[in-house]
Amino acid sequence: MLVKKLVFLENLSVNFLIWSMMKKYNYLFLLILLMTNFSPDYQVVFGENYREAVRFLQTNKQHFVKAWQPDTLRAEMAAVVFPELVRYSLVRDLLETKVLELGYVQYGADYVDFSIGRFQMKPSFVEELELQTAQYEELTSFSYKMLYRLTEAKAIRAERIRRLKDWDWQLFYVQVFYHLCLQKFDNQVIGLPSERVRLLALAYHHGLRYDVAALSKRAGWRIFPYGRNFGQNQYAYEEVASDFFEKRQELKVSF
Query: How far is 237 from 220, CA to CA, in rounded Å?
Result: 8
121 strand-pairing partners: 116
Of the candidates 95, 61, 102, 10, the residue with the CA atom closest to the CA atom of residue 248:
61
| Total length of the chain | 255
Give, as one character, the DSSP assignment of residue 138.
G
Looking at the structure, do residues 31 and 6 belong to the same domain, yes or no?
A: yes
pLDDT for the residue 187: 67
Looking at the structure, do residues 5 and 119 belong to the same domain, yes or no?
A: no
pLDDT for the residue 82: 97
pLDDT for 180-222, tens place per residue? 999 998 867 667 888 999 999 999 999 999 999 999 999 999 9
pLDDT for the residue 173: 97
pLDDT for the residue 96: 58
Rg of the chain, C-alpha, whole Å:
22
pLDDT for the residue 192: 84
Looking at the structure, do residues 62 and 75 belong to the same domain, yes or no?
A: yes
Looking at the structure, do residues 123 and 10 belong to the same domain, yes or no?
A: no
Looking at the structure, do residues 149 and 80 belong to the same domain, yes or no?
A: yes
Looking at the structure, do residues 143 and 172 belong to the same domain, yes or no?
A: yes
Of the candidates 180, 67, 184, 189, the residue with the CA atom closest to the CA atom of residue 118:
67
Is 253 contained in some domain? no
Q: Which long-range contacts link 61-67 to residues 24+ away (Cβ below 8 Å)?
A: 61/254, 61/255, 63/167, 63/171, 64/171, 64/255, 65/255, 67/168, 67/171, 67/172, 67/174, 67/175
Is 139 contained in some domain? yes
Looking at the structure, do residues 87 and 211 belong to the same domain, yes or no?
A: yes
Is 252 contained in some domain? no
pLDDT for the residue 73: 85
pLDDT for the residue 132: 97
Looking at the structure, do residues 86 and 202 belong to the same domain, yes or no?
A: yes
Is 197 contained in some domain? yes
pLDDT for the residue 28: 41
Q: Which long-range contacts link 144-150 to residues 24+ away (Cβ below 8 Å)?
A: 145/172, 146/176
Looking at the structure, do residues 225 and 179 belong to the same domain, yes or no?
A: yes
User: Can you list the residues of the chain whose pLDDT is less than 70?
Assistant: 1-38, 93-97, 187, 189-190
Of the candidates 121, 93, 116, the residue with the CA atom closest to the CA atom of residue 177:
121
Question: CA distances (Å), 155 to each of 39, 52, 112, 159, in order?
Answer: 47, 35, 16, 6
Looking at the structure, do residues 209 and 113 belong to the same domain, yes or no?
A: yes
Q: What residues make up the domain containing 56?
A: 40-247
Looking at the structure, do residues 21 and 131 belong to the same domain, yes or no?
A: no
Alpha carbon dihedral 243, 247, 251, 253, in 10-degree steps, equals 90
Looking at the structure, do residues 113 and 180 belong to the same domain, yes or no?
A: yes
Is 15 contained in some domain? yes
pLDDT for the residue 220: 95
Is 254 contained in some domain? no
Domain count, the chain: 2
pLDDT for 46-69, tens place per residue? 999 999 999 999 999 999 999 998
Q: Supply the mean pLDDT for the chain.
A: 84
